[in-house]
Structure 1
């Protein structure tokens, strides 16, 4: 009886194993997808073309054309004035010959300026034509690529962006607008310092890319016949030192790169005693003020007499690159002393060991002496530049490669400090190594990675 039961169970077990053994034949399923494969290579090409287009159209190109037009605008009245002088002095003698040479020189510079303007405009016309065609092609390509977006993801993203923008506009529209903080202005004849314009001048001058560090500007108290002159100091030795100041008879001469009367030499050696150290220099009253080489002192070089006088700064003044302007990525070499000009004359900004690295401001009086001194609570190595306007000290800091911020002010009249000015400077190069305010025309002159840039200071 037990044997009969065991045999069927064994047979059942054998049958079960046989049914579970997989078949040797494979089952293959074909999946047919109705959607077209997305052309990633075409999208990559569009992105590359768009990047090239952005690289070709930059703010620098517009400013370059404006500079040339501005130079021509300033040069033509000067030519008219020189021709009038020639007409008055046309006596057939030496004076008329000299006046004629002046007019010939003016005409030559105007011709050079017009040639550069024509070349630049032709280049821009070609660029505009090519860019227009590229934009049409890119638009058509993007519209075709959008046909692959069958789930309308891009369309919904664009709708969401519009909704967020409208929502933000609605929210802000029902809130009072916050007035911008206005810097203190002391007894400024122009009113309150409110903002600065976009770049008015942008030029590489006659040595494009040759001298990374330097400074430029105008003399607020020029000598006779030098009202329209501009000056430049290039740091020609190791990006640290210089031994001359280069002069230009007008802004258009500087833009074109025609230096007249040329260099005024401080000393034949560079560097040596009482030559220039660092980029923070100014010209005032036909004299150059700067950090004396290897000293905690201010040098004054008279352009007429070629004499150098010095002003010793207080004991503990940091020099030889121990109290520089800095930002997180870089410190600007030999910027321990910053010279500045405004409506009242020359100032020196520095720091000392006893002030724990905070900015110290002193008035430079004539004859060369140290006048009143003010102490601030802003740390110098957290600052990238300073300048003076109407007796107020302003300090800047690095935000990113395209923006610098005027964030701080110290009013020497009231002693009030402010840390929240929030005035942006749109940079044409990542670093501003020197910043000078010109009270003659209320312009801010910046030297940026070998480029010369200027901004109009906007007062109320």
Structure 2
């Protein structure tokens, strides 16, 4: 009876977050009348579970989901308006051309009617521009909220009961996917210039979009990279890849069918590189289902085709292992992919550390042409290619990077620019541009981070004549 009562007391005293040891009869199991009393050793946590934080996260997820549903509805309206506006612009353009060819057939009243139609069209387009700007601001605001959510969830999951947090994490993943879909639809509608090089360069970089801590869920895996295939094979257009390590090397790589599975850390392939194929540095990329990276031995270029599992390597005799990016050891070869093909940059002793751009022929894996720049590689934090133009990045302060230099291989012209953008954490080991979505992908102290890019376009899809 005493044992039963003791057990019931233990059950009633145990919280959802604490544990109680097995009950015992007596202090030491000896006589002295102690057998009529039980002693219980309770081990409770030093702090209670912050359920309020979890409730706030859940409420935030519901609010964000509701906002995203509203934005998706707006995007459908935008799509309809764009179709109508495009038809009106085509009709107006045709009428103006007829009037220009036969001016004598029209009087002042006809001209005034046409001016009114143009003004009305301008007002409609301005209204749409304001709506689009409002949506972009909402997306950025939601990104900030989601970033705060995942930080709270990571903290709770690491410190407290993982099973309890898992339900809320599912809500977070659902919201993340909704936002990705919303942004994709927005991009399709309002960025028809993807794949086009009809621009004069980068004009702006978005705030950092933080996706998740790496697949190892460890901030110790500071070295690595992530992103999408820059020239995806059929049925792998939505695929993401990741490789991370505690050191500046690459020994394996994971593939995810889509963004959802990247967030869930649910890979469909995990390739461990053969010991003779492992590489150094972190500026590797995936292009045409092929990994391009820096070879360890011999020092040079390497590629591994995951379709055929064929490995190849090449040596550039003049390339030096003495010159790497600031704060990034072993980054001697930096692969890049853009709208025009495959590239690699490096420095040599003959160039005194100045960066050299090399165009790579993909089938032969040979260097087609080279360009010498005047930027010193050890003074650069990273670099990438867009439309045949090299963009070099440097660190300004603890939170800010700056695109400060560009070299156009098409014209052999170089210039200094200033396009600042924000880092998420202190240091990053990988920064690459992907032409399929015009984003920068950064691996920043163990976190997946990406940025939207804006360009100074010299040509647009719709006639610009009616815009003020």
Q: Provide the TM-score with structure 1 as the length reference.
A: 0.57
- Choose from 228, 234, 258 the match for 1:224: 234
1:116 is aligned to 169
* Helix, strand or coil at the partner of 2:262: helix
The Cα offsets for residues 128-165 of structure 1, whole Å up to 9 and x where unpaired, read as: xxxxxxxxxxxxxxxxxxxxxxxxxxxxxxxxxxxxxx
1:395 aligns with 2:392: yes
Q: Provide the TM-score with structure 2 as the length reference.
A: 0.56
The Cα offsets for residues 265-311 of structure 1, whole Å up to 9 and x where unpaired, read as: 321x3xxx331211110000110000001333110100011111112
1:202 aligns with 2:250: no
Deviation at 1:254, TM superposition (A): 1.2
Compared with structure 1, are the counterparts of its residues 391 and 120 closer, same or farther at alpha carbon in structure 2 (3 Å cutoff)? closer
The Cα offsets for residues 50-86 of structure 1, whole Å up to 9 and x where unpaired, read as: xxxxxxxxxxx9xx979x97xx99xx9xxxxxxxxxx
1:377 aligns with 2:379: no
The Cα offsets for residues 316-336 of structure 1, whole Å up to 9 and x where unpaired, read as: 3112xx21101xxxx311111
- Choose from 403, 415, 421 the match for 2:412: 415
Instruction: Find the aligned partners of 1:324 and 1:240 in 2 and give their Cα distance.
Output: 12
* Helix, strand or coil at the partner of 2:206: strand
- Choose from 282, 288, 292 the match for 2:291: 288
The Cα offsets for residues 421-449 of structure 1, whole Å up to 9 and x where unpaired, read as: 11112111011211010100001000111
2:251 is aligned to 243
Compared with structure 1, are the counterparts of its residues 233 and 120 closer, same or farther at alpha carbon in structure 2 (3 Å cutoff)? closer
* Helix, strand or coil at the partner of 2:260: helix
2:308 is aligned to 305
Residues 360, 374 of structure 1: 8 Å contact kept: yes
Deviation at 1:190, TM superposition (A): 5.6
1:326-365 correspondence runs (5 A): 326=326, 331-365=327-361
Compared with structure 1, are the counterparts of its residues 415 and 191 closer, same or farther at alpha carbon in structure 2 (3 Å cutoff)? closer
- Choose from 263, 266, 269 the match for 1:262: 269
Instruction: Find the aligned partners of 1:414 and 1:255 in 2 and give their Cα distance.
Output: 41
Q: Which runs of 5+ in 2 are unaligned?
A: 1-56, 73-164, 175-195, 457-468
Residues 222, 446 of structure 2: 8 Å contact kept: yes
Instruction: Find the aligned partners of 1:212 and 1:262 in 2 and give their Cα distance.
Output: 22
Compared with structure 1, are the counterparts of its residues 119 and 241 closer, same or farther at alpha carbon in structure 2 (3 Å cutoff)? closer
Deviation at 1:120, TM superposition (A): 9.3
Larger Cα-atom Rg:
1
Residues 216, 452 of structure 1: 8 Å contact kept: yes
* Helix, strand or coil at the partner of 1:226: coil
Deviation at 1:352, TM superposition (A): 0.4
Query: After TM superposition, what 4+ stretches of structure 1 lie above 3 angstroms from structure 2?
Result: 112-115, 117-121, 189-192
Instruction: Find the aligned partners of 1:117 and 1:190 in 2 and give their Cα distance.
Output: 41
